């Protein structure tokens, strides 16, 4: 199951994998509760950085900057907006072995909407930079953080 809020990317995923029968594409953002939200997609010089899209407008805009792009011109940065459905993970009624959460700043909201799923299934959860609050919430479920030290995975 792949949850993709960006309607353009969800359509591409469905075209590529939806016919396989084993892949389900959910065109929604994951969050704490059901509803709608605005997805912010940065575009610079006409290129959409869909991997930096976020429900958090500051996160969507902040990565593209003079510190990261040579000769950055802020006048060439724009942000596209899509109103998207939001669904809590628990509403999907899954029993996953593995969950990857990459939501550009709203990972805690995803986890809070999936506490039942996480407690019931105890999956491996992959989060790029979980932050202290998220580590605390997952720790209450008995899940502990691991990281890569350059050679191997270490508890951390």
Query: Strand locations in the chain, DSSP E?
Result: 2-3, 25-26, 29-30, 35-44, 47-48, 77-87, 98-101, 124-127, 146-148, 153-155
Q: Torsions phi, psi of 90, nearest 5?
A: -60, -30
pLDDT number for residue 130: 83
Give the Å distances, CA to CA, from 56 to 32, 38, 116, 136.
14, 8, 24, 22
Strand-pair category, 124-127 with 98-101: parallel
Strand-pair category, 29-30 with 35-44: unpaired
Exposed / middle / buried, residue 31 (Cβ in 10 Å: 0-12, 13-18, 19+): buried
Give the Å distances, CA to CA, from 141 to 40, 57, 95, 132.
31, 30, 16, 15
Over its length of 156 residues, how does the chain's per-residue pLDDT go in tens digits?
999 999 999 999 999 987 877 889 999 999 999 999 999 999 999 999 988 999 999 988 888 999 999 999 999 999 999 999 999 999 999 999 999 998 888 999 999 999 999 999 999 999 887 889 999 999 999 888 888 889 998 887
pLDDT number for residue 156: 75
Supply the pTM of this predicted model. Answer: 0.85
């Amino acid at each position: 199951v792949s949850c993709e809020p960006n309607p353009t990317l969800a359509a591409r995923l469905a075209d590529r994998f939806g016919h396989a029968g084993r892949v389900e594409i959910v065109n929604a953002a994951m969050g704490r509760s059901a509803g709608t939200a605005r997805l912010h997609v940065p575009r610079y010089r006409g290129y959409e950085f869909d991997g930096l899209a976020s429900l958090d407008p500051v996160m969507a805009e902040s990565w593209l900057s003079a510190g990261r792009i040579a000769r950055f011109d802020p006048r060439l940065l724009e942000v596209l907006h899509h109103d998207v459905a939001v669904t809590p993970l628990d509403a999907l009624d899954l029993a996953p072995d593995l969950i990857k959460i990459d939501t550009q700043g709203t990972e805690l909201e995803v986890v809070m909407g999936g506490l039942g799923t996480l407690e019931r299934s105890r999956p491996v959860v992959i989060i790029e930079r979980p932050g202290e609050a998220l580590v605390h919430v997952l720790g209450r479920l008995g899940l502990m953080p691991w990281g890569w030290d350059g050679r191997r995975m270490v508890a951390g």
